[in-house]
Amino acid sequence: MRSDPLFYLVAAASLAVLVILMIGIAGFGRGGDFNRKHANKLMRLRIAAQAVAIVLILIFVYLRKGA
């Protein structure tokens, strides 16, 4: 499984979702100008990143199931 490049792509996509989520939570916790300017943009970015990660996970599972 670790020799499969798709595994690393799925891991990177999941890590990207985590990083975006942490930035959003930190901005929300601090409040202020950063949160006011970037909260909605970060939420949209997180949702898009989650969608990509889910599609990649489904592709990975489908390809591994067939192997």
DSSP 1-67: -TT-HHHHHHHHHHHHHHHHHHHHHHHHHH-HHHHHHHHHHHHHHHHHHHHHHHHHHHHHHHHHHH-
What pLDDT is attached to residue 48? 97
What pLDDT is attached to residue 2? 73
Question: For 4-50, how does the pLDDT look when each residue is reduced to its tens digit (9 = 90+)?
Answer: 899 999 999 999 999 999 999 999 998 889 889 999 999 999 999 99
What is the sign, positive or negative, of the torsion defined by CA atoms of 44, 47, 49, 52? negative
More confident residue, 51 or 67: 51
pTM of the complete model? 0.85
Question: Within 13 A of 67's CA, how many CA atoms are on the CB side?
Answer: 8
